[in-house]
Amino acid sequence: MKYDVIIVGSGLGGLQCGLILARRGMKVVILERQLQPGGCMQSFRRHGELLDTGMHYVGGIGEGGCLYAPFKYLGLMDLPWQHLDPTGFDRVTIGDRTFKYAEGAEAFIETLSQDFPQERKGLEKYCNIMNEVCDHLYDAILPRDEVDFFTQSLFASSTYDFLHETFNDELLINVLSGSSLKMELAKDTLPLYNFAQGNNSFIQGSYRLRGDGNLIVNRLMDQIKAMGGEIVCNSEVEELVEKDGRLVAARCKNGEVYEGTWFISNAHPAVTVGLVKESTKMKKVYRNRILRLENTYGMFTTSLILKPGSLKYFNWNQYIYMKPNVWTYFNEEGPVQGCLVSCRCPIEGDDARILDILTPLPWEKISQWENTTVGRRGEDYKAMKERLYNECIALAERFIPGLHNMVEAHYSSTPLTYRDYTLTPNGSCYGVRKDYHNPMMTLLSAKTPIPNLLLTGQSLTLHGLLGVTMTSLFTVAEIIGKQAAWEITQTK
């Protein structure tokens, strides 16, 4: 059977592209190598509970927010969203002091100015930049020269330098960077654009689901299927077949062959180029460029299932650091020095049941096991995971005293786990590392040298739910046209 669009991978980007194109009347099939769709959005069952892989919270889905229109178009706005505490949706503890991020630019400035009164003007400049970046979020779909210049200049600007040029107080710089564990804080590479987009959406308003990430996956899947689209699991693509300069088919390891007109890869770009075995269009120089790109670090995650009644739900995200070294702690020796503690919103009542603790884990710290697979890494690996778990608990107990005794069960994963399930090189959490020194090389277009092969996903421009949604629109614009893609961002 021939399809209008074949999508490789059922992560968020693949599902969003699939739904948008199915709504346009196209015959869509999504091919997923795993038994369960969703990529890093999916949930998994342990100890009778559904635990999340990567979904913790999202910003900008309130009315007027940067994700409101596309999420409404995608049918996601009526999911059970929990609005996080507007007086402090993110709280950053550094040493013995805790600072709050308040919702809305004015409240954000006012709240932090109480702790740093001499930095009010800097905070105003900070929020102005955040707002301006967000205002231009989708303009690249229908570019204007001045917008291109503005955006490109921020891609070529250093986050670290901007913060130090704007603020004099090093503690405030650490506070403002403290919620950015949701991106890689690399002082030598991180573009200001990525930092600004990644933070401003949450200041607009932050939300988490009353339930697990599969709520998003299932909602998108149900709509795709209702429009005649197909999602085929346990179908790992082993080759994208080219003929006369265009792709014509996807060949799976199970022997199935799917013919198509358009092909979209939601896999990591390095994985995608490996699927194109022979090509007259995809030259060696393009392949080498993709394969040489560095990736962001991965994450150690431990999911805790708590004893009933042991902890009340808290309606914010808690970031904890031993000392003001937010930009360097993950490369320093010694026990875990920084983490995010995220509490799953209970469906009923106010007792917390599931708690996630995340901390960066660079590849070099686990590379000795890189040639192993899930369940076959040995006792040393298990001991390493248990050590990191205990270090995370000890740090989290600065916020939740006695946490260790509240735990009924726990399950931990590393970048190796993420790599083996998603094929993402080095188990990278945020995809390709963007570098303000060389934005043209590290920012990837949805287009490839093969005219009917498109890329989507977090490695292109920006990661997270915001970045993937934005990139999905850039991808489908190449098929349905820029005007049609732009209109999705204007849904009322």
**Is 172:178 a contact under the CB 8 Å cutoff?**
no
- The secondary structure of 275-327 as a DSSP string is H--S-SSS-HHHHHHHHH--B--EEEEEEEEEPTTSSB--SSEEEEESSS-TT
In this prediction, residue 163 carries a pLDDT of: 97
**For the chain, what are the domain ranges?**
2-47+68-76+211-293+437-488, 105-204
In this prediction, residue 142 carries a pLDDT of: 72
Backbone angles phi, psi at 242, to 5 degrees: -105, 145
In this prediction, residue 135 carries a pLDDT of: 76
In this prediction, residue 131 carries a pLDDT of: 87
- The secondary structure of 86-149 as a DSSP string is TT-SEEEEETTEEEEEPSSHHHHHHHHHHH-GGGHHHHHHHHHHHHHHHHTTTGGGS--HHHHH
Q: No. of H helices and E strands in the chain?
A: 16, 19
In this prediction, residue 144 carries a pLDDT of: 57
CATH of region 2-47+68-76+211-293+437-488: 3.50.50.60
In this prediction, residue 398 carries a pLDDT of: 95
In this prediction, residue 169 carries a pLDDT of: 97
Rounded CA-CA distance 409/330 in Å is: 26
Mean pLDDT by 10 residues, the chain (492 residues): 95 97 97 91 84 87 93 96 97 97 97 98 95 79 58 85 97 96 92 91 95 92 97 97 97 96 97 96 95 94 96 97 94 93 92 96 94 93 97 97 97 94 91 91 93 95 90 96 92 64
In this prediction, residue 328 carries a pLDDT of: 93
